[in-house]
Each structure stands twice: as C-alpha cells, then as structure tokens.
Amino acid sequence: MGRLYLHMQFSIIIPTWNNLPFLKICIDSIRKNSRYDHQIIIHVNDGSDGTLEWVRQQGLDYTHTDDNVGVCLAVNMMRRKVKTDYIFYLNDDMYVLPGWDEAMAREIENLPDDMFYLSGTMIQPHWPLDVSINADYGTTPETFREDALLAEYMTYEKADWQGATWPPSLVHRDVWDLVGGYSVELTPGMYSDPDFTAKLWLAGVRYMKGLGACRVYHFETKSTGRVRKNDGSTQFLMKWGMTNSTLRRNISRIGEPFDPDKVGMIHRDGLKADRLRSRLKAIGKLLTNGFGILTDRFF
C-alpha cells in the first residue's frame, strides 16, 4: 500500500488510575526507545495521586474523569483525541523496548489493506503465557533493572505468533470505529480484550498477528485488584455464545506459530465441540442465576 513507514506515527492510548510511578516509566520508555515521534494520549482516572498535574506539565494529550471509569470508557474517550491513522493501545505498567515501532511499521507497510490486528510480545516476570517471554527484571520502579533489560531483551527467542488479543496492540482507526471501540457494558474491563477481538472477527478482520520483534516489558501490576470486577466471562459467554477459551483455541488460535497460509482458518471440529459445551454452560448459568446476571452490576 506504500505507507512510507520511515515516517509513520501512531497515537498511543494509555489508560491509568493513580499509578504515576509506573506511568512515568512508561512515558519515558516511549520517548527514549521509539524510532518515530508518536502522539501520546493519557486517560486519567481520578488522578488524585498527582497524575493529572504531571500529565499537564508534560504537555501530553489527555482525557480525565473524576472517578475510575475503567478501561472501556477510557479508551473510547481517548479515541476523540487521536490525530494519526493508527491506534496503539498500551498499559501504563508497560515499558516499550527499542525497535517496537519499527517492527509494527514494517509489518503494516507489507500488508495490502488496513484490516489487521497486531500485538506486541510481552516480557513479564510471573504470568506464563504461550505468547510471552518469562524473565524477571523487576516488579516495581525501585527493583526495575532497566540496563539489564535493554542489554538482554533480544536474546530471548520468540517468533511471530497467531492471534493478537490484548495490549500492546494496534489497529487502524477506521477499523476501531467500524466495531465501535471497546464495549462499555464490560466496564470496568474484564474480558474487554477478547470481546474486541471477537468484534473485529465479526467485522471481517482475519489478519491477527503477534510480532516477536515488537517487545515490551510488563510489570504485571494489579490495578484490577482495586476495582469491583464485572463478571466478564459470563458476559462474554452470553454475548457471543461461546467462552473466551473457545475463541482463543479455535478462532483467533492465539499462541500458534504464525503461518501466512493459514490466516483466517479456524479449527472447525474443535469449534463445534466447544460451542456445544459453551451453550450448555450458558444454560446452566441462566438456570442458576437467572437473566439478571447481565445487569447485576448496575441494579
């Protein structure tokens, strides 16, 4: 498509909730380790810890709510500030590593259209995933071993993988708008990432890829422990007629080695069996809890 990736810019959206020490590290990494000059947009939930003042002092684009509205409303609010063609969603406890944006830009340049969903690869200390690298470079600003991370982050082998699902992730803004961004009924945000993946699939996005060369360090802070969680697994099941694990195993096929010849292919036999189990599970939920399970958060 000839996008001239050497001059490519992204709009980086970062929701945050009174997590200023980590946010400072995140912003610093973008400024130090990016090849291109990107727009940075912050949504400040509350901000009583000094985040709002700091974001203003830094001259960053931002949105703000007095209370914590979760990630779904936050990212949708930030969409109004986007000035570039590409939206890169990043968590406030992530540190982007050199080459992250060049890897994304090269991938976009080689694609025929904008119907894609890309993720970067996380390096994180504790939570093992098929799509991440497990290595501990600290879990707090005080224990963060930045120099060691910068010296070693590319020594870990990680090929491209199938099934982009969660931050760090990138889509074209037109694709974001096509599916209406993140689903606010999942506020504060449990299961909002797989829901976004399912919406993209429904809209015709088939090229879902994780890039091994786009790497970020994830501190794995647990902001979710401070909020009243929505029952995202049940909401996802009732909305899509399948569990998140069914989507991951059979449709997005997250974690499989990426094969361009298999883009858009689903595991039909597995999907058929898993969807039957999903529907039986949904019936059980309804019989046990009643139809109010979708609205108990608010009423």
- The yes-or-no verdict on residue 1 having pLDDT over 50 is no
Q: Where are the domains of the chain?
A: 5-221
Q: What's the topology of domain 5-221?
A: Spore Coat Polysaccharide Biosynthesis Protein SpsA; Chain A (3.90.550)
Over residues 254-275, the mean pLDDT reads: 93
Whether 2 has a pLDDT exceeding 50, the answer reads no
Structure confidence at residue 299 as a pLDDT band (50, 70, 90): very low
CA diameter of the chain = 56
In the predicted model, what is the mean pLDDT of residues 271-279? 86
pLDDT at 293 over 90: no
State yes or no: pLDDT of 78 exceeds 60. Answer: yes
Average pLDDT for the chain: 92
pLDDT digits (tens, 9 = 90+) for 105-147: 999 999 999 999 999 999 999 988 889 999 999 999 999 999 9
Strand partners, 231: none
Sign of CA dihedral 24, 72, 168, 78: negative
Of 289 and 188, more confident:
188
Give pLDDT tens digits for 223-240. 666 788 999 999 999 999
* pLDDT average, residue stretch 36-62: 97
User: Between these two residues, 21 and 285, which has the higher pLDDT value?
Assistant: 21
pLDDT at 277: 87
Look at residue 209 and tell me whether its pLDDT is greater than 70. yes
Average pLDDT on 6-30 reads 93
**Bond before 188 cis per omega within 30 degrees:** yes
pLDDT (tens digit per residue) in 157-186:
999 999 998 899 999 999 999 999 999 999
In the numeric block, which tokens belong to residue 235?
Answer: 């909401």
> How many Å apart are CA 15 and CA 181, to the nearest integer?
14
pLDDT value for 282: 83
pTM for the whole structure: 0.93
122 beta partners: 216
Evaluate whether 164 touches 118 at the Cβ level (below 8 Å).
yes
Q: What is the pLDDT of residue 224?
A: 64
Instruction: Supply the pLDDT for residue 221.
Output: 75
